[in-house]
Structure 1
Amino acid sequence: MVIGTFSLIIIIFLYVLYLRYFPIKGIPCIDVNSDQIEQLKLKLDIRDYNSSSKREVKGSITMPVAYLKRYYREIPSKEVHVIASDVMEKNLGIRFLRNKGFKVSSYTITDCKCE
């Protein structure tokens, strides 16, 4: 019984690490200052309100990652471009949106340049 409980704790720990830190493959990064970002149909800003108000992205819908679970039904399009402040926020947001049937076409991390 003790070994089973310990194994369950390890599995949960590894799952949480996967959700937050394991990179998502196949989604291109677009620099926030590029011309490509202006042409995107729906830009979803999942940064918290303090970050998004300091450095606003023109034409984006602001919905912090903490509010996605409650308000994802209000996102008007199924294809989105995600704007996040760091890699962990990007991973959590993209995984959540994919699980809810959204197609994430690209992303932007505002605190670093795309390679």
Structure 2
Amino acid sequence: MPVLILLLVSVFSYMMYYRYFPVRTRQWFSREVTSEHIVVDVRDYQDSSKGDCDDVVALPCGYIRRYFSDIPEGPLLVMGSNLIECNVGVRQLKRLGFNVEGYLIIGSDKKCNEYLSLG
């Protein structure tokens, strides 16, 4: 019985850490992003498709492991609607070997083409 309780507490602790503990990357702001950065939008497709950004890779967190080969090589920035989404996206991409330099937080009601100017 104590082993089972220890196992459940361990699994719960890992899940809390994976989702809520901040990642060790810095938050970027839209004016700092240049065209050499690859922005990966990890918001849901309903939110990310509101603005047509040609230079942004729309790949929600649930699809990263399946479609990570669609992400070009280079320094990545993760764009999400809240810190939890960014944490999960950054952790998954780092685990897959990508160089993630930071994250951007954009509201789910905002369009990425109004928020970013990747000229």
TM-score, normalising length: structure 1:
0.84
Match of residue 23 from structure 1 = 22
Task: Give the fraction of aligned pairs with identical amino acids, expressed as a percent.
Answer: 31
Q: Which amino acid letter does the alignment assign opposite residue 108 of structure 1?
A: L
**SS of 2:26 mapped into structure 1:** coil
State the alpha-carbon separation in 2 of the partners of residues 61 and 80 from structure 1: 10
CA drift of 1:79 comes to 2.4
Deviates more, 1:68-77 or 1:15-24: 68-77
What is the TM-score normalised by the length of structure 2? Answer: 0.82
**Runs of 4+ off more than 4 Å:** 55-58
Give the total of aligned pairs: 108
In the alignment, structure 2 segments of 5+ residues that lack a partner are: 108-119
**Match for residue 94 of structure 2 among 84, 98, 114:** 98
Q: Distance in 1 between matches of 2:65 and 2:77?
A: 17
Partner of 2:113: none
Contiguous gaps of at least 5 residues in structure 1: none
Question: Which of 30, 36, 46 pairs up with 1:50?
Answer: 46
- Conservation of the 8 A alpha-carbon contact between 2:18 and 2:88: yes
Q: Distance in 1 between matches of 2:33 and 2:53?
A: 9
Deviations 1:79-111 (A, max 9, x none): 211101111111111111111100101210103
